[in-house]
Amino acid sequence: MAKVFRATRSQDAFLHSTARYLGFIGGIGSGKTAAGSVKAVQKISQGEDGIIVAPDFPQLSRSTWPEFMKWAPMSRCTNAHLDHPYTQKKIITFDINGRDVTIFYGGIEKEQGWAGPNVNWCWFDEGGRKKTRKAFDVLAARIRVGASPQMWITTTPSGVNHWLYEVFVKKLFNDDVERALQELGWKGKIVEYFKGKTKDNKDNLDPFHYAMLTGMYEGEFALQELDGEFVSLEGPVWRQFDAKLDEGTEEFVGRNVSKRAEYIPGAPVEWWVDDGFTKGHPRVILMAQVIPPDIHVFDEYIVTGELAEQSVKNALDRCPTHPTTAYVDSSAAELRSRLWQEDIDTVSATHDVAEGIKRAASWILNGRGETHIIFHPRCRQALAEIPAYSRHPVTQKPLKVDDNAADALRYGLWTKDREEIWGEEVVGEDVYAGEKVDKRPSAPEELTTVVPGQSEQEMFASYLGRWARSLNPTRR
């Protein structure tokens, strides 16, 4: 059955806009790529050549291209026999009433590679992932032939210090573009953008995916990731991380702190490691356990001026059981080899910092007001440092101070998949219905109650089994 496109209000406005540089800036799943695809189809049916790009080829092949294929007029494609988008020559052609329409497509990893073709239109999906506006400027100069040349960007926003904000809100263009437009005698609107919210597209999203997305973020991250707003991110990186030193008891307290995060025998231990040596950049080892639905950090080992070998020994002495895995930044070659010698697997946890910050935020406090990363109060240095981890007031980039425990936290959380931790077969309502949540076994009380004749590993395994069944009561 052919798919029917029912434009949301903002998609509709976007599709009708004639501005030369156009944006659909929206939340996750708000219909950005669909809107961009349908706009491309409009241009194709008008017989105009164009360009379709994403920041890199994996993004294009995984998400932009499959969505474009839902709407593209493939019955008129003249080279459909090629294995798009994996062909060497990334060009797709259509025959529109006897007219050849050519579309160049691909990832724009290297901007200069795109300085060639002259086209009528260009669609840049997820353009916001580019840290600089170079790709935009190169592509903006490509649209120069045919009727009403247009370039559109469909993307999630990325703060008020990003080039997207400069282009769409401040409307700042480089001189070349402005001069070219003047020479062309362009009379229409130069820039226009429309905002899309995740909830606007609810009807077209899988209910579980929708529940997952909307429950994921809180505060400024929700405004950015779900409502598609340009938000100011100055101040603490994780404003929701709640840990304070109680002056009276001198203990850390707050939503992200609890003695519940004590080491649980039988459950595997992992280390989250940010390697360092100097005073400003110590070596941080956070010791963690995944205890569904939470992740516990039960201890820390933070040290300066110590050889990697010695740190591994000291941390092992401190750790109640041998860790299975260490999540480490990829630069820490010496430390990694010391970990292997101790039979600890290492996983390179390198990732895009901005993406890692968002992911960690969703564990710190999610859209349903739940906290799923908990530190034991004995992790005093991490608990002092994480709330202090801040952004530069002007660039809004995370500052490279107070960032060591924060980096280790990101490394550990980067690889954590909610669906895996919460059980694979869960369906939306089962996860989110409050009543059912209350029936879940509660770690760690259950896990620390001694059951005669059962090993610690057996206790943890049976806890995991009960946990999985509590999520999906129909499965036994």
Ligand X SMILES: Nc1ncnc2c1ncn2[C@@H]1O[C@H](COP(=O)(O)OP(=O)(O)OP(=O)(O)O)[C@@H](O)[C@H]1O
- Contact assessment for residue 267 and residue 290, using Cβ atoms and an 8 Å cutoff: yes
The piece of 31-39, 325-333, 347-355, 399-407 that touches ligand X (CB under 6 A) is 31-39
What is the nearest approach in angstroms of ligand X to the Cβ of residue 226? 10
Q: Which is nearer to Mg ion, 66 or 188 (CB)?
A: 66
Could you list the beta-strand ranges (E) of 115-180: 121-125, 150-155
> Which option in Mg ion, ligand X, none does residue 201 bind, with CB closer than 5 to 8 A by kind?
ligand X
Q: Given candidates 10, 11, 150, 258, which one binds ligand X under the rule CB under 6 A?
A: 11
> Does residue 6 touch ligand X according to CB under 6 A?
yes
What is the nearest approach in angstroms of Mg ion to the Cβ of residue 17? 19
Q: How far is residue 341's CA from residue 255's CA, in Å, rounded to a whole number?
A: 37
Rounded to 10 degrees, what is the CA torsion of 458, 462, 468, 474? 140
> Does residue 256 touch ligand X according to CB under 6 A?
no
- Whole-angstrom CA distances from 321 to 183, 260, 300, 377, 456 are 71, 18, 14, 20, 12
- Contact assessment for residue 374 and residue 258, using Cβ atoms and an 8 Å cutoff: yes
- Contact assessment for residue 362 and residue 217, using Cβ atoms and an 8 Å cutoff: yes
Phi then psi for 327, rounded to 5 degrees?
-95, 115
The piece of 13-21, 27-35, 106-114, 239-247 that touches ligand X (CB under 6 A) is 27-35
What is the nearest approach in angstroms of ligand X to the Cβ of residue 388? 32
> Does residue 201 touch Mg ion according to CB under 5 A?
no
> Which option in ligand X, Mg ion, none does residue 240 bind, with CB closer than 5 to 8 A by kind?
none
What residues does 93 pair with on adjacent strands? 102
Site string for ligand X, 189-218 (x = CB under 6 A): ------------x--xx-------------
Q: What angle do CA 76, 46, 106 make, to 5 degrees?
A: 65
What is the nearest approach in angstroms of ligand X to the Cβ of residue 470? 30
What is the nearest approach in angstroms of ligand X to the Cβ of residue 8? 6
What is the nearest approach in angstroms of ligand X to the Cβ of residue 68? 10
What is the nearest approach in angstroms of Mg ion to the Cβ of residue 32? 5
> Does residue 127 touch ligand X according to CB under 6 A?
no
- In 3-state terms, what secondary structure has residue 270? strand
Q: How far is residue 300's CA from residue 7's CA, in Å, rounded to a whole number?
A: 51
> Does residue 358 touch ligand X according to CB under 6 A?
no
> Does residue 67 touch ligand X according to CB under 6 A?
yes
Residue type for 28, please? I
Cα maximum dimension of the chain:
85
Q: How far is residue 28's CA from residue 13's CA, in Å, rounded to a whole number?
A: 19
> Which option in ligand X, Mg ion, none does residue 224 bind, with CB closer than 5 to 8 A by kind?
none
> Does residue 34 touch ligand X according to CB under 6 A?
yes
Q: How far is residue 196's CA from residue 14's CA, in Å, rounded to a whole number?
A: 10
Q: Which is nearer to Mg ion, 33 or 256 (CB)?
A: 33
Q: Given candidates 31, 85, 159, 377, which one binds ligand X under the rule CB under 6 A?
A: 31
Q: Which is nearer to ligand X, 10 or 346 (CB)?
A: 10
Site string for Mg ion, 13-42 (x = CB under 5 A): -------------------xx---------
- In 3-state terms, what secondary structure has residue 57? helix
**91-96 and 99-107 strand pairing:** antiparallel
> Does residue 61 touch ligand X according to CB under 6 A?
no
The piece of 7-15, 169-177, 262-270, 463-471 that touches ligand X (CB under 6 A) is 7-15
Using CB under 6 A, count the residues that bind ligand X. Answer: 19
> Which option in ligand X, Mg ion, none does residue 350 bind, with CB closer than 5 to 8 A by kind?
none
Q: Given candidates 10, 21, 23, 33, which one binds ligand X under the rule CB under 6 A?
A: 33
What tokens does 180 get?
A: 């070219």
Residue type for 399, please? L
> Over the range 36-63, which residues count as b (16 or more CB within 10 Å of their CB) and which as e?
bbbbbbebbeebbbbbbbbbbbebbbee
> Does residue 7 touch ligand X according to CB under 6 A?
yes
What is the nearest approach in angstroms of ligand X to the Cβ of residue 15? 10
DSSP calls for 386-443: GGG-EE-TTT-PBPSSS-HHHHHHHHHHHT--HHHHH-TT--HHHHH-HHHHHTS--T
> Does residue 9 touch ligand X according to CB under 6 A?
no
> Which option in ligand X, Mg ion, none does residue 120 bind, with CB closer than 5 to 8 A by kind?
none
> Does residue 26 touch ligand X according to CB under 6 A?
yes
> Which option in Mg ion, ligand X, none does residue 204 bind, with CB closer than 5 to 8 A by kind?
ligand X
Site of interaction with ligand X (CB under 6 A)? 5-8, 11, 26, 28-34, 63, 67, 70, 201, 204-205
Residues in contact with Mg ion by CB under 5 A are 32-33
